[in-house]
Amino acid sequence: MPPTSPPGAREDDCLFCKIVAGEVPADVVLETEQVLAFRDINPQAPTHVLVVPRAHHPHAAATAGADPAAMAALVAAAAEIARLDGHEDYRLVFNTGAGVGQTVFHTHLHVLAGRPMTWPPG
Ligand code: AMP
Ligand code: ZN
């Protein structure tokens, strides 16, 4: 049977755990005790930053259940990132599940800003 990690532990095959550990390079824009933020490698807006909790959980609801303070830290960091990039208005997105486009299964908050955006999203 393959080894399983306890919730919140690092997952060895997780890209964002590797970025948090400094094992994969990233364009880091903000670091706090609880979160790391770096620019998306395939930006969809002039500002497109991913904010991730340092602890591994597969999606936002899992982080919220295990560590509500980490969720607050993600949103606070997102607001600070938008401000640092000079944007008053910004969009925050948590994709949850492959069916809506989640491709990395470590909680991450997309911060998008700097261009007009339509609603509803595609
Ligand atoms: P999602 O589709 O919501 O799971 O978002 C995953 C995001 O991670 C996508 O927007 C990717 O462009 C981005 N991404 C994938 N690999 C990297 C990487 N090495 N550094 C920065 N962003 C990445
Ligand atoms: Zn991870």
Ligand nearest to the CA of 57: 2
- Between the CA of 50 and the centroid of ligand 1 the distance, in Å, is 8
Do residues 45 and 110 lie in contact, with contact meaning Cβ atoms separated by under 8 Å?
A: no
Out of 40, 74, 112, mutate this one to test ligand 1's pocket (max ligand atoms within 8 Å of CB): namely: 40
For the structural domain made of 15-113, what CATH number should be given? 3.30.428.10
Ligand located closest to 12 CA: 2
**Residue nearest ligand 1's atom 15 by CA:** 41
pTM: 0.95
SS3 state at 83: helix
The string of DSSP codes covering 9-67 is: S--TT-HHHHHHTTSS---EEEE-SSEEEEE-SS-SSSEEEEEEESSB-SSHHHHHHH-
The span from the CA of 20 to the CA of 64, in Å, is 19
Task: Tell me the per-residue pLDDT of 67-104, one tens digit each, with 9 for 90 and over.
Answer: 999 999 999 999 999 999 999 999 999 999 999 999 99
Per-residue model confidence as pLDDT tens digits over 2-36: 455 566 778 889 999 999 999 999 999 999 999 99
Average pLDDT of span 110-114: 98
Q: Domain ranges in the chain?
A: 15-113
Beta strand pairing call for 28-31 and 109-113: unpaired
In this structure, which amino acid lies at residue 93? V
Whether 108 is catalytic is: yes
Task: List, chain by chain if needed, residues with CB within 6 Å of any ligand 1 atom.
Answer: 15, 24, 26, 38, 40-42, 50, 95, 101-104
Residue 61: count other Cβ atoms within 10 Å of its Cβ.
13
Which residue, by CA, sits nearest to atom 18 of ligand 1? 41
Distances (CA, A) of 120 to 42, 116, 117: 21, 13, 9
